[in-house]
C-alpha cells in the first residue's frame, strides 16, 4: 500500500512537470531559444524599462514607429529626448512582449519627454522688418489690415499664393480688386451669340461729345504694396511668435523714419517746409549744425535732415477724384547771371485762381505723391508770380585767424578802456602779437594803414557788396587796390590804436552797416 502510494505520488509530480512544460511550450509570449549567445533583449527608453524582444532590430523598428505615431498627431515639429538602450542575455526560455504593447509604452514615454515643440509658422519680411505669425491666415489678415487702412469701401482684398519659383515654402501677396460678378454673370447669360456681339459694338461706339465731369467713375482705382513683401514657411518656438494684434500695430502704425531732402534751385526754407509737411522750426532743430534760424542761408545741393512718419509696410494707391479748388500758377523765374543766388526781385505778385478738375491722384500712404489732371475747367485764371533771381554762387566768409579766444562779442557793451565805443561793431579774438591774419573772403583792398582808434587797419571790399575790416594790427602786409584771395595772409595781429591788449578786431559790413560777423562765417 505504501509502495503504491509513493509510486502514484511520483507519477503525479512527473505529470505535473510535463504539463507545465507543454504549457510553456505553447503559451503565447513564451518562446524557446537555441543556445547561441545573446538572444533575449530588454528595452530601456530614457531609463524606463519598456519590455523584451527577441532581437535589437525589432527594438529600433518599434522606436521609429512610436516616434512616427507621435509626430502624426500634430503638424508641429517636435523635439523629443529618446535615449534607448538594449540589454541582451542568453536564455533558453523567455516571455516576450507584444510589439503593439511595446510601441504604446514607447509612445507614452516619448510624450512625457517632449523637450520643445516647433510650431509651423510664417515669417513676413518687409525691408529690414520681420514678424512671425502662427498661420497663413494671420499673415493674410495682417496684410489686409494694411490695405483696409486706406480702403474704407472694402474694394480690394489680399490674396496669398504659392511662389513656384522658389524651392522652399514661400508665398507671394497680391492686392486684388474684388469683382462685381453679379452684373457680368447676368449679362453673360442673356447676351449670347449675335446679341453679345451687338452689345460689344454698342459699348465701343463714340458719340463724339466731350466727356463731362459726370461721366467719370470716381473713387479708388488701384492699390498695391510699396515694398516687396516676403512670406516664408518656418518652424519656430512659440516664444518667437507674435499675436496678430501686435503684428498689426507694428506694421501699420506710422513711425518717424529719418530721411534727407536735397535743396534744389529756387528752394526756400518755407517752401521746403510746405513740400515735406514739416514746420520750419522743426527743420531748423533737426539741422542745427547747418541752420541757425529760419532766415539762415541754404545752398543748392545741400542736404537737410527731415523726419517723415512712415509705417513699416507702405501702401501706394491711385484715386480718381473731383475737386473744386483754389490753385496757384507756377512761379516764373527770370535768371540773371550777374546776380548772386541770394539776390531776387519780384516783378509781379501772384493772385489765386479757381477751377474744377478731375484728376488721377497717386498716394503713398496718406501723402499725395503726384496727380494727373484728366479734365479741367478754369473759372478764374491764376496770375503767376514773376521773380528775377541770380545764378552766381555768393562768396563765403571764413574766420580770419587761427585759434584765439573770443574776448568781446558783437553789440552793446561797457567801454573796456577810455576812448573805446560802447557799441562793438565787430568781434575780438585775443591772440599773441604777430599772429597771422587772413582775408576772410577774396576781394580788393580798399584801405591799408593807420586808422586812428583802429590802429593799423585793413579794409577789403568784396564782390557781393560786403566789406570786412581787420583792426589793431601790428603790421600790414597788403596795399590799397591790391586783389587778395580768401585765406591769403594780409597782416599780423597786434595791440595798436585804442586797445586793451593783443587781439584782432574783425568786422563785416553789409551795405555800410555792421552786422554780427559770427552769423556770416562758414
User: Average pLDDT of the chain?
Assistant: 84
Three cell numbers, residue 138: 494671420
CATH code assigned to 405-519? 2.70.70.10
pTM metric for this prediction: 0.50
Q: Which of 401, 387, 520, 389 shows the shortest CA–CA distance to 462? A: 520
Write down the pLDDT at residue 201. 45
Does residue 493 surpass a pLDDT of 90?
A: yes
Domain ranges within the chain, ordered by starting residue: 2-116, 117-177+217-254, 257-392, 405-519
257-392 to CATH, choices 3.40.50.1240, 1.10.240.10, 3.30.70.920, 3.10.350.10: 3.10.350.10
Write down the pLDDT at residue 193. 46
Write down the pLDDT at residue 192. 47
Residues near 108 by beta carbon (within 8 Å), at least 6 away in sequence: none
Cα–Cα distances in angstroms (integers) from residue 456 to residues 116, 450, 459, 471, 496, in the given order: 87, 4, 10, 6, 6
Alpha carbon distance 516, 423 (integer Å): 12
Does residue 81 surpass a pLDDT of 70?
A: yes
Mean per-residue pLDDT, 207-226: 88
More confident residue, 246 or 207: 246
Does residue 187 surpass a pLDDT of 80?
A: no
Q: Grade residue 440 by pLDDT with cuts at 50, 70 and 90.
A: very high
Fold identical between 257-392 and 405-519? no
Report pLDDT digits (tens) over 125-180: 998 889 999 889 999 999 999 999 999 999 999 999 887 776 667 899 999 998 74
Q: Grade residue 206 by pLDDT with cuts at 50, 70 and 90.
A: very low
Write down the pLDDT at residue 498. 86
Specify the range with the lowest mean pLDDT, choosing from 3-7, 251-255, 344-348, 490-494.
Answer: 3-7
Report pLDDT digits (tens) over 467-491: 999 999 999 999 999 999 999 999 9
DSSP tag of 37: S
> What b-and-e string marks burial along 342-373, b requiring 16 or more CB atoms within 10 Å of the CB?
ebbeeeeebeebebebbbebbbebeeeeebee
Amino acid at each position: 500500500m505504501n509502495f503504491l502510494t509513493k509510486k502514484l505520488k511520483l507519477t503525479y509530480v512527473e505529470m505535473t512537470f510535463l504539463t507545465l512544460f507543454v504549457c510553456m511550450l505553447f503559451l503565447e509570449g513564451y518562446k524557446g531559444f537555441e543556445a547561441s549567445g545573446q538572444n533575449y533583449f530588454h528595452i530601456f527608453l530614457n531609463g524606463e524599462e519598456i519590455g523584451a524582444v527577441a532581437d535589437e532590430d525589432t527594438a529600433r523598428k518599434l522606436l521609429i514607429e512610436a516616434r512616427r505615431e507621435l509626430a502624426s498627431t500634430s503638424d508641429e515639429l517636435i523635439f523629443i529626448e529618446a535615449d534607448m538602450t538594449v540589454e541582451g542575455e542568453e536564455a533558453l526560455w523567455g516571455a516576450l512582449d507584444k510589439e503593439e504593447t511595446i510601441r504604446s509604452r514607447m509612445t507614452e514615454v516619448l510624450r512625457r519627454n517632449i523637450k520643445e515643440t516647433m510650431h509651423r509658422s510664417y515669417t513676413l519680411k518687409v525691408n529690414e522688418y520681420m514678424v512671425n505669425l502662427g498661420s497663413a491666415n494671420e499673415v493674410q489678415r495682417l496684410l489686409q489690415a494694411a490695405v483696409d487702412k486706406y480702403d474704407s469701401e472694402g474694394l480690394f482684398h489680399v490674396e496669398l499664393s504659392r511662389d513656384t519659383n522658389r524651392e522652399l515654402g514661400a508665398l507671394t501677396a497680391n492686392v486684388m480688386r474684388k469683382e462685381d460678378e453679379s452684373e457680368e454673370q447676368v449679362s453673360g447669360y442673356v447676351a449670347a451669340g449675335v446679341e453679345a456681339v451687338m452689345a460689344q459694338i454698342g459699348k465701343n461706339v463714340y458719340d463724339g461729345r466731350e466727356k463731362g465731369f459726370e461721366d467719370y467713375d470716381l473713387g479708388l482705382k488701384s492699390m498695391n504694396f510699396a515694398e516687396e513683401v516676403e512670406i516664408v514657411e518656418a518652424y519656430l518656438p512659440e516664444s518667437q511668435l507674435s499675436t496678430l494684434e501686435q503684428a498689426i500695430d507694428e506694421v501699420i502704425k506710422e513711425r518717424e523714419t529719418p530721411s534727407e531732402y536735397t535743396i534744389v534751385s529756387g528752394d526756400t526754407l518755407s517752401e521746403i517746409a510746405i513740400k515735406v509737411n514739416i514746420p520750419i522750426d522743426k527743420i531748423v532743430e533737426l539741422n542745427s549744425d547747418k541752420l541757425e534760424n529760419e532766415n539762415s542761408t541754404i545752398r543748392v545741393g545741400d542736404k537737410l535732415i527731415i523726419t517723415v512718419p512712415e509705417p513699416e509696410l507702405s501702401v501706394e494707391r491711385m484715386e480718381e477724384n473731383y475737386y473744386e479748388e483754389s490753385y496757384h500758377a507756377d512761379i516764373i523765374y527770370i535768371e540773371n547771371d550777374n546776380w548772386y543766388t541770394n539776390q531776387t526781385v519780384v516783378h509781379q505778385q501772384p493772385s489765386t485762381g479757381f477751377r474744377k478738375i478731375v484728376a488721377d491722384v497717386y498716394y503713398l500712404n496718406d501723402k499725395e505723391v503726384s496727380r494727373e489732371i484728366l479734365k479741367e475747367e478754369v473759372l478764374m485764371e491764376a496770375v503767376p508770380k514773376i521773380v528775377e533771381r541770380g545764378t552766381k554762387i555768393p562768396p563765403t566768409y571764413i574766420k580770419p585767424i587761427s585759434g584765439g579766444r573770443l574776448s568781446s562779442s558783437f553789440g552793446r557793451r561797457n567801454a573796456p578802456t577810455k576812448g573805446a565805443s560802447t557799441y562793438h561793431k565787430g568781434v575780438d579774438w585775443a591772440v599773441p602779437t604777430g599772429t597771422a591774419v587772413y582775408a576772410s573772403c577774396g576781394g580788393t583792398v580798399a584801405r591799408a594803414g593807420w586808422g586812428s582808434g583802429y590802429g593799423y587797419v585793413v579794409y577789403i571790399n568784396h564782390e557781393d557788396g560786403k566789406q570786412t575790416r581787420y583792426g589793431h594790427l601790428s603790421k600790414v602786409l597788403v596795399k590799397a587796390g591790391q586783389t587778395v584771395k580768401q585765406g591769403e595772409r594780409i597782416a599780423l595781429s597786434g595791440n595798436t590804436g585804442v586797445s586793451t591788449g593783443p587781439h584782432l578786431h574783425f568786422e563785416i559790413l553789409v551795405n555800410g552797416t555792421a552786422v554780427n560777423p559770427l552769423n556770416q562765417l562758414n
